[in-house]
Amino acid sequence: MALKPLKTEDSTYTFFDDEYSEAMHSLSGAYREALYMHVLPSRVLEKEGTVCVLDVGLGLGYNVLALLYEARKRNDNAFYHIVSFEKNPAIPCTMETIMFHDDRDELYKLIIRAAIEKEVTTAWYNHVVLYGDARKLIASMPEDYFDAVFHDPFSPAKNPELWTVDFFKKIYHVCRDDGIVTTYSAAFHIRAAMHQAGFRVGIGPQVGRKKEGTIATRKNADVVPLGDDYFTALKTMAKAIPFTDELLCDDPELIRQRRHEAMHDFKKDHQALE
């Protein structure tokens, strides 16, 4: 798996992944995206006690770094338990090439160590890294457990298996009632998938040149839902048909093909009614 470095507009680096033909972060700012698309909207920095975070897609570890760096500055009343899923076991080699040339480097070395050793515990946080297919890994997570989920895999077009109704149902069950899910995608079919999984779905922030993201929750009143009219309108749109993967084991091409066929049938049925 070839990874090519790219400098982003906040002077932090991301990498272009040849397997997915996609950069791992927004070119408008890799670290900025982690902080403003995931960490701050999740509101975990406002919590006290043990705060549990699921990081779907460790990647270069920027979501975890932004969380820990901001928490160390702001919150002395929390212990963070972070679980990261990662498909690529070779990612620590790439991480070791990155430096920030500021006080983030100290924390980042601990994140790299967690990626290598699979767990690091300090006085104020615990970070566990699990390698494999996130669809299988999430089955081992306890229900009603996470205060936040940073949903940050590759794009739905490239990585559809982690954007299905069925995978979001798994995320729903591991979230606490007031937990918040953050993601960078605002695509109609992704919001429809989250809605069908049971979430209250709202508008996430816009970061740099990236369009608005999406946030979701089971019951957190701070997430203002898009509303019934929005999702009623989605039911009239073929492009809002979500990916499905009932057994959480289908390959990406089959998942894409299933959605394509559902969209084709939807269009044919609606043409027949006209």
Mean pLDDT of the 226-248 span: 96
- Tell whether domain 27-273 is in CATH 3.40.50.970: no
Q: Looking at 33-42, 43-52, 73-82, 89-98, which range is the least confident one?
A: 73-82
Please, what is the average pLDDT of the chain? Answer: 94
pLDDT in tens, 71-89: 998 867 899 999 999 999 9
Percent of the chain beyond pLDDT 70?
97
| Per-residue pLDDT at 19 | 86
Mean pLDDT of the 255-268 span: 96
Mean pLDDT of the 96-115 span: 97
Q: Give the separation between CA 176 and CA 200, rounded to whole angstroms.
A: 13
Q: Is the pLDDT of residue 273 over 70?
A: no
Q: Is the pLDDT of residue 251 over 60?
A: yes
* Higher pLDDT pick, 73 / 138: 138
pLDDT in tens, 180-213: 999 999 999 999 999 999 999 999 999 877 689 9
